[in-house]
Structure 1
């Protein structure tokens, strides 16, 4: 499936954008920055000015998926909060320009660290500073005032974790009739041990190193937090769990999300990252292992969805880099954490004798 913009589409985009920017716009050119698995992202330019255009894929398989208009509203609301984001320029819902909704954002220069073999190499000192910057900006996001702002309309915090479990389990059941070993056990266990939400705040929804842009010359300086279409109001520790589930740390094995982007010398260990976040946010992380296990389950389900979609030609035409082993890896990592975590060990104490979670098997 081709996502290239035609000359006619570029002309319509130019006419639309001319109503939202102060200076004249010349003929536009477009280059795809990403596409297929998430919202399709282009750099559009008239030779003197550049912008980013974000549109959802032509086919969406789940309600609320790839909501670029939601992301636009979040970016508008975050202006002036101290959270670094691209400036929201314009949003279009009318089908006459493109066949799907799209948004136009400020174009920023920087580096997104998505793989160790493509990202610029960091010194150990810079990697350490970058690690702590990641924890600091997440704490800053979670401190953003929500009440009395446009952000308050993003979600319903009551019953947030239960709805999240329902959503991800339904997504998993909609993919295939046969689940991989351990997945159903993990969903059951997460429901039994679900903690009470102590703090409600802004949740990014997909916070990991691959959604952060850093300065190319000052590689530990954060330029922007990207990809806000999953943002909501709920339990901020879901962001912490996802960050921990995707973070690798110096000398650790690559995972299917970052694929080695945070394994170089100087990158903080996950425990150090969590400690720094706790200090910066003033948040207790006593139950963080539950959130990490849930995040690993979500990643496993998402990886299976990518394969499911690409197999049915609903995603990009490029060859998938996701294998069945990637999903199984995340499930097994979740099971291992359940077996060693003090949080789950304490919860096990209230269960019947002989019903041990540490006996859960990995494959």
Structure 2
């Protein structure tokens, strides 16, 4: 930090663990009045996480100067000799995460339902603004392969499922066949998050709801930003009484799926008439992603719980595919 002339020179360095697991660890670092956050793979993380960390850094650095709420890019170190793994430093976000609340929103969003719609509209606005980033001008032309993006989705994830498959998934053939036969009405490549949901954003304190930062860029790439939208709303509850949908947060008082999708369209300038395609793709893809966890669950209760979620998602993808009149 001293070698790159960061604030706090001469002050003692204090570290506070914030979060982490098998893929990444995150600590708050403080030197005097200066605060930042370090993100790096733990010692036993797979070797490809080193490339992943440097990839995340490129996205965070590219967001500087854009309208996308993001953590400030402070510095990166690709030399594993310094701390054992590559790492980067980003700005400390003085805000709150929905995942810190144990499914209970902080005040005033908990007791005043009239404040809640803003949480959803801000969530949609985050990826709408992300979709407008000029990724070529930001030097991210080699971050992903937008050409053939949708064709590769089906081929890549069916191949992945074949390698891990341990059971039949009802609806898989129907949903896969439908995706092979359909595509979006248009495809405008852009920067996408890859795992966009309430779990991966932070809000500023207090009302009205305001996004503080999009976080956790492990799946970030250049692809189709509208897949972020489909991912975000694929399990959006149909009503306040739909307790099975998005049960990790309290969705009472939130706007309808159509309303948040319309807000995304207004901010992003993209058409959303092909939403059904993205909903089928998102449900189908998420089912396959979660199936990996279920197949390696052993006696891990959290991973075992993915089992019925996977089958429900795949059945829902197939049901939507069969019922929609979408012809794209």
- Bin of the TM-score, shorter chain as denominator length: 0.7 to 0.9
Contact 2:13 2:29 in 1 (8 A): no
Contact 1:241 1:291 in 2 (8 A): yes
The reply to whether residue 234 of structure 1 matches residue 217 of structure 2 is no
- Could you tell me how far apart the structure 2 residues matched to 1:191 and 1:129 are? 37
Change (3 A) 1:309 1:89: farther
The reply to whether residue 330 of structure 1 matches residue 313 of structure 2 is yes
Corresponding residue SS for 1:154? coil
- Could you tell me how far apart the structure 1 residues matched to 2:46 and 2:297 are? 13
| Partner residue of 1:270 out of 250, 257, 261 | 257
Contact 2:38 2:88 in 1 (8 A): yes
The reply to whether residue 173 of structure 1 matches residue 156 of structure 2 is no
| Partner residue of 1:84 out of 62, 69, 79 | 69
Structure 2 equivalent of residue 19 of structure 1:
3
Structure 2 equivalent of residue 30 of structure 1:
16
The reply to whether residue 297 of structure 1 matches residue 284 of structure 2 is yes
- Could you tell me how far apart the structure 2 residues matched to 1:233 and 1:255 are? 32
Contact 2:197 2:231 in 1 (8 A): yes
Contact 2:124 2:263 in 1 (8 A): yes
Q: 5+ residue gaps in structure 1?
A: 1-16, 348-363
Structure 2 equivalent of residue 101 of structure 1:
86
- Could you tell me how far apart the structure 2 residues matched to 1:99 and 1:65 are? 10
| Partner residue of 1:248 out of 237, 246, 258 | 237
How far did residue 71 of structure 1 move? 0.9
Matches within 5 A, 1:194-209: 194-195=183-184, 197-209=186-198
Q: Where does structure 1 differ by over 6 angstroms across 4 or more consecutive aligned residues? A: 63-66
Corresponding residue SS for 1:28? strand
Structure 2 equivalent of residue 148 of structure 1:
137
The reply to whether residue 282 of structure 1 matches residue 306 of structure 2 is no
Change (3 A) 1:28 1:69: same
Corresponding residue SS for 2:81? coil
- Could you tell me how far apart the structure 2 residues matched to 1:60 and 1:188 are? 34
- Could you tell me how far apart the structure 2 residues matched to 1:176 and 1:66 are? 27
* Pairs aligned (count): 321
How far did residue 73 of structure 1 move? 0.7
TM-score by length of 1: 0.78
How far did residue 320 of structure 1 move? 4.5
Structure 1 equivalent of residue 95 of structure 2:
110
How far did residue 50 of structure 1 move? 3.2
TM-score by length of 2: 0.86
- Could you tell me how far apart the structure 1 residues matched to 2:241 and 2:323 are? 18
- Could you tell me how far apart the structure 1 residues matched to 2:181 and 2:46 are? 32
Change (3 A) 1:246 1:109: farther
How far did residue 176 of structure 1 move? 2.8
- Could you tell me how far apart the structure 2 residues matched to 1:273 and 1:82 are? 19
How far did residue 288 of structure 1 move? 1.2
The reply to whether residue 56 of structure 1 matches residue 41 of structure 2 is yes
Q: 5+ residue gaps in structure 2?
A: none
Corresponding residue SS for 2:289? helix
Matches within 5 A, 1:61-72: 67-72=52-57
How far did residue 223 of structure 1 move? 0.6
How far did residue 254 of structure 1 move? 4.5
How far did residue 51 of structure 1 move? 2.4
| Partner residue of 2:249 out of 242, 261, 266 | 261
Contact 2:17 2:28 in 1 (8 A): yes
How far did residue 321 of structure 1 move? 7.4
